[in-house]
Amino acid sequence: MDPVTVGLIGILLLLVLLGKGVHIAIDFFVVGFLGITVLVGLQGAMSFLSQTMYYTIATPTFCALPLFILMGAFAAMGTFAQQAYEGIHDLTEGLPGSLAIATCFGCAAFGAVSGSSLATAALFGKIVLPEMMRYRYDKPFALGSIAAAGGFAAMIPPSAGFIVYAIFTEQSIGKLFMAGILPGILTAIAFSVLIVIRVVRKPSLAPREASGSSEKCPVTKSRLASLRKMWSIGLIAVIVLGGIYSGFFTPTEAGSVGALAALALGFQQGKIRSLGVIRKAMRDSAHTTSMIFIIMVGALFFGRFLALTRIPTFASNLIIGWNMPRFAVLFGILVIWFLLGMIVIPTGIMALTLPIFFPIIVSLGYDPIWFGVIIMKLGEIAAITPPVGLNVYALKGVAGKDTSLEEVFRGVWPFIFCELVVLAILIAFPQISTFLPDLMGN
């Protein structure tokens, strides 16, 4: 049978298994193994599988991922998120919807030490939602702002998504981290503007007394003193990003130093002083890492199957041969990504599409670092779009039985439209994403 035909049948089978609800990692292994067996025989398939299971992850790049996940776990145990939120709320008091605005920038700050949008949404749901309800915020508005802001961790470095993208595309993790800073800040500002506009137009979304309340976070003598509450997150971010940017650390070394700094600060502040807390952080990190790794190894195995079928090369040559405007090709890829984001987790989408789409993007002359930022932005959107908006389900889990998924999804739609506007800006002005990476040089 023609290799391309085998590849197309394999992709179709993969989609069928996804539709049946089979775990995506199992889908990759089953389809990849069957496809390679058809092409080169059972012995060849076993050889490909064994090589993929070891050699593809026996690289320093893979080491960075669990280290940054561990850093985020220690930061969560150290209550750095709550400290950042309180400090930022001190600075935003008096603005319409100040609790929601503080949530946006608090999630952005915690994203600088977390790397997991799922963990950020769940954690801030525990911290912020009770306060918003106490101050009579509109419930869908409150839920939507938390779920959407939780997605900042997908963009704000150190992002686990950027590490996964770097592994699949062999790009610089350091440059990808730098590329996410300005788009992440831009998104936080855009969300804050949206919140102010909505609350001004409809004050019942966030009663004015809530915006100016000081019960939770009393106004300090000097608003600059509020920054002291954020020094822990700020210090870790400076150590990690500063070390990478200056070339003093490799990303893997930065992850280990960041995890150690988060542990030390948690100990110094009295939040991490028992082996039980440390064990829980390490256990949670191991669980998250193993889940991501099994998906990635399966995806890399499936990618080898696609390489044997020559479908990526065939698709790239076919699209280039159409002589379509390159923006039309990019738009088509983004639409596919957006639709897949409604049914597949972002890591799975990258594993499924990057072996095909990335060569096309590079051949059309697009910057691979910029494309990584666009992918992360689509990942943010995917985290809150139905029916598989992971942030929505995470927030529903911590919000309790009195909160329905419909309330959360109803609250996130304005933020999805805001995300799409930011996405359009990043596409129109790629310099926003490439400015800081270009300063790093080669």
Residue 140's Cβ-side half-sphere holds a number of Cα atoms within 13 Å equal to 13
What's the Cα-to-Cα distance from 269 to each of 86, 127, 231, rounded to whole Å?
16, 19, 12
Nearest to 237 by CA among 257, 252, 223: 257
What's the Cα-to-Cα distance from 177 to each of 152, 379, 420, 430, rounded to whole Å?
13, 15, 21, 15
Pair 194, 414: CB distance under 8 Å: yes
Sketch the domain layout of the chain as residue ranges. Answer: 1-55+292-309, 62-273+311-440
Per-position b or e across 302-320, b if 16+ CB within 10 A of its CB = bbbbbebbebbeebbeebe
Q: What is the pLDDT of residue 367?
A: 94
H helix runs in 247-310, sequence order: 251-268, 275-309
Pair 386, 157: CB distance under 8 Å: no
Among 3-7, 111-115, 400-404, which is the least confidently predicted range? 111-115
Among 98-102, 131-135, 205-209, 362-366, which is the least confidently predicted range? 205-209
Number of CB atoms found within 10 A of residue 367's CB: 17
User: 269-326: per-residue pLDDT in tens?
Assistant: 878 888 888 998 898 888 878 877 787 788 778 878 887 887 767 766 776 667 778 8
Q: What is the pLDDT of residue 195?
A: 94
| 3-state SS class at 422 | helix
CA distance 88 to 347: 31
Number of CB atoms found within 10 A of residue 138's CB: 18
Segment 47-54 shows an average pLDDT of: 84
Nearest to 179 by CA among 393, 435, 360, 441: 435
CA distance 56 to 90: 47
H helix runs in 341-404, sequence order: 346-363, 368-382, 390-399
| 3-state SS class at 161 | helix
| 3-state SS class at 119 | helix
Nearest to 113 by CA among 149, 145, 147, 160: 160
User: 338-355: per-residue pLDDT in tens?
Assistant: 877 776 677 777 877 888
For residue 388, what pLDDT band results from cuts at 50, 70 and 90? Answer: low
CA distance 244 to 238: 10
Segment 8-18 shows an average pLDDT of: 85
**Statement: residue 213 has pLDDT above 70:** no
Q: Which residue has the tokens 């080898």?
A: 304
Q: What is the pLDDT of residue 215?
A: 42
Amino acid letter, residue 256: S
- Cβ burial of 327 (10 Å; 0-12, 13-18, 19+) is exposed
For residue 415, what pLDDT band results from cuts at 50, 70 and 90? Answer: very high
Q: What is the pLDDT of residue 398?
A: 79
Q: Which residue has the tokens 């028992």?
A: 274
Regarding pTM above 0.85, the answer is no
Q: What is the pLDDT of residue 208?
A: 64
Number of CB atoms found within 10 A of residue 353's CB: 18
